Structure 1
Amino acid sequence: MDKVILVIIDGLSYRMKKYMGYLEALCEDKKAQCHCVKSKLPTLSKPLYNMLLTGVSPIKSGIRSNNIKGKSKDESIFDLAVKNGKKTGAAAYYWIEELYNSGSFDPIKNMEVENKDLPINFGRFYWEDNFPDSHVFIQGERLRIKYDVDFLVIHSMNVDDSGHKHGGLSNEYRKSISKVSDILAIHLPKWIEENYQIIITSDHGMDIYGNHGGTTKLESYVPMWLIGDKFENLKLDDYLSQDIVFSLCCKGLGIEKS
């Protein structure tokens, strides 16, 4: 099936993937594969959301900082999907809405989106970093079921939030990762049964001090799990560049990059 779910677990370091027990179990059972992805620099959220969704590095895109305002000038997966007659959705942090729909997020106007003329046709957006991951996944699942979207982004923030507050090797950080694993254990079986192409990754990692933006392995190496028949026979290196995510989304949707 030419439908893709992209899950972005914000702030998840590759070193900590061992706490994603359910996904690692799928890998052991040969139902998923995991690769190490090197994030582009700087390892900051907004530049790397755009990296994941357009395949364009922060230096080339001009989105070099979380403080850059306005819409992305690059063609995103949302744009490509809509051009190809597909429906798109996102349950995500408001920066994703800002990058591809409004350019300037207003929670009253933009928190809920139902507009087939926009790149993100159907959306539910939040703006607090501690907004519960469980709620984000339910919002995403509701969009998937209600609107039968072809490309869905689910983007959670609690791992990043706990990392900033307690550090990237803290017990609190580990617990937040385990919690996301438990949430995925609820939703993934349904997606797998319905033959979605599934990509689960992160934008950046987190150092021991609760920061990211630099070049250390804790900050710049993130995991990427792949599930779906379109990814089964791919011959990929163990260590990959982050632009692979954009290409894999296109492959899963059966569309060509412009």
Structure 2
Amino acid sequence: MGNKILLVIMDGVGYDTAVSQCGYLEGMVELGRARRWKMRTALPTISAAMYETIHSGLSPIDHGVTGNEALRPSIVPNVFQTLHDANFKTAAVAHSYFHTLYNGPYDLFDHIEVEDEEKNIQFGRFYSMEGYNGTNICAPAEIDLCAQASLLIKRHSPDYLLLHSSSVDSLGHRYTADSSQYRIQTWHIDNALARGIPRWLEEGYEVIVTADHGMNADGHHGGAEDIMRHVAFYYFGKGTITADKDSVLDQLAIAPSVLQRLGATIPDSMKAETLFSD
């Protein structure tokens, strides 16, 4: 077995917003305690499609989840299934879409908490955001999500842990990416991570922070604008990423890179070059 990885997905946070609003993450970069790159996402830039891309290393056109309306259990090799089959421990604090993708159809009353080593996501805390609309954003508090992740670490010590926040995406749709609500909520994630990341590093995790997609001034994503496709990729760990600071990384490289760092076999379907040289 290799390292342990905690992947944070800040849903809907574009590159420029992350760099301008995430004072903790940027402060760690400035001090040389983390590294940050720009990453280019796959297309279409829709949440469920990107969740599967991040975990399968395939374009939505190839893995088949091309939008939220096309959500169904994953039918391609992915990080969670690969790790489960190789006897690694997996966990997630995430939107219910991840349960549907990797554990099967989601029922709120049965699956808001998962403790089942037969599942691909063995230990899960899932939120539904039921009732989400323009006047009721239904966004869990960022620090609550971080605390849940820490409890899963304390109780189960998973090899791979996903932490996914939907709040910025929700506020971006309501108020657009050119709004104080969108920018300040991005800071709220950063502020919670400032309390979580030191704990997770101390507990032996490498931490990756990125986003599934960005958002435009219309409160929309799904297309090919740079503001939708460019996201930040922060890395806290001892691995060597050889790309120079001005390189634009490929989102398809996340899945094989996570498996590489964990010491797991990378499925043949994951064709992207891994980000790490070791």
| Partner residue in 2 for 1:39 | 41
Q: Please list, as runs of the form range in 1=range in 2, the aligned pairs for 1:161-172 lying within 5 A after superposition.
A: 161-172=170-181
| Deviates further, 69-78 or 183-192 | 69-78
Render the CA deviation track for 1:59-90: whole Å, top value 9, x for unaligned: 00111111013201011111111222211000
Partner of 1:229: 238
Of 176-185 and 74-83, more deviation after overlay is shown by 74-83
- 1:133 match: 142
Amino acid at match of 1:41: L
Q: Is the 8 A contact 2:93 2:125 kept in 1?
A: yes
Hey, what does 1:107 align to over in structure 2? 108
Normalising by structure 2, we get a TM-score of 0.89
**Residue 200 (structure 2) aligns with:** 191
Tell me how many residue pairs correspond in the alignment.
255
Q: How does 1:4-15 map to 2 (within 5 A)?
A: 4-15=5-16
Secondary structure in structure 2 of the residue aligned to 1:27: helix
Q: Cα offset for 1:214? A: 0.6
- What corresponds to 2:120 in structure 1? 119
Name the counterpart of 1:177.
186
1:54 matched residue in structure 2: 56
Could you tell me whether the CA contact under 8 Å between 1:197 and 1:252 is conserved in 2? no
Aligned mates of 1:175, 1:111 — CA distance in 2:
28
The corresponding residue for 2:256 is 247
Q: Counterparts of 2:46 and 2:146 in 1: how far apart (Å)?
A: 23
Conserved? CA contact 2:48–2:71, under 8 Å: no
1:152 aligns with 2:181: no
Whole-angstrom CA distance in 1 between matches of 2:208 and 2:253 = 11
Per the alignment, residue 24 of structure 2 pairs with 22
Report the Cα offset of residue 138 of structure 1.
Answer: 1.6
Query: 1:93-104 to 2 correspondence within 5 Å?
Result: 93-102=95-104, 104=105
CA deviations on 1:80-136 (whole Å, 9 max, x unpaired) are 11222211000000000000001x211011111111011000001001152222222
195, 210, 214: which is aligned to 1:205? 214
Identity of aligned residues (%): 31
In structure 2, distance between residues paired with 1:211 and 1:69: 19
Given residue 245 of structure 1, which amino acid in structure 2 is its aligned partner? Answer: I
Residue of 77, 88, 91 corresponding to 2:90 = 88
In the alignment, is residue 70 of structure 1 matched against residue 72 of structure 2? yes
Whether contact under 8 Å (2:260, 2:266) holds in the other structure is: no
Alignment correspondent of 2:276? none
- CA–CA separation in structure 2 for the residues paired with 1:234 and 1:256: 19
Report deviation, 1:194. Answer: 2.7
Whether contact under 8 Å (1:195, 1:228) holds in the other structure is no
Instruction: State whether residues 65 and 72 of structure 2, in contact with CA within 8 Å, keep that contact through their aligned partners in structure 1.
Output: no
Q: CA deviation at 1:217?
A: 1.3
Distance 2:22 2:220 in 1: 21
Report the 3-state secondary structure (helix = DSSP H, G, I; strand = E; otherwise coil) of the residue aligned with 1:208.
coil
Q: Per-residue displacement from partner, 1:152-207 (whole Å, max 9, x unpaired)? A: 00000111111111111211111001111110000111112233111110000000
- Tell me the amino acid that sits aligned with residue 247 of structure 1: P
Structure 1 counterpart SS, 2:70: coil
